[in-house]
Amino acid sequence: MITRGKSKEKGMIMSMSRKGTPADNAPIESFHASLKSEMFSFDNTTTAIVEQIVEAYSNEINSL
C-alpha cells in the first residue's frame, strides 16, 4: 500500500470518497462483487501463480 508520504513524494494525489456519497464506492463494490462471484479451483499451483502475480504487481507499483 502506498503511504501518504510516498504518494506525496511521487506527486500523486490520494483520492477518497466524500462522506455520505455511496455512489463513489460503486466501481470498487462492483469489482469486489465480480471477484467474489468468480469460481476458482484453488489448488497449490493456482495459489502459487496468484501469489506470484500479486507480488510482481505490488513490486511494480512500489517501484514507481
38-56 burial code (b ≥16 CB/10 A, e <16): eeeeeeeeeeeeeeeeeee
Answer yes or no: is pLDDT of 58 > 80: yes
Give the pLDDT band of residue 59 (cuts 50, 70, 90).
Answer: very high
pLDDT tens across 2-51, in order? 567 777 787 777 776 667 666 667 887 888 788 777 766 566 777 889 89
DSSP string, 25-57: GHHHHHHHHHHHH------HHHHHHHHHHHHHH
**Beta-carbon count within 10 A of 24 CB:** 14
Q: What is the pLDDT of residue 48?
A: 86
Q: What is the pLDDT of residue 47?
A: 80
Give the global pTM. 0.35
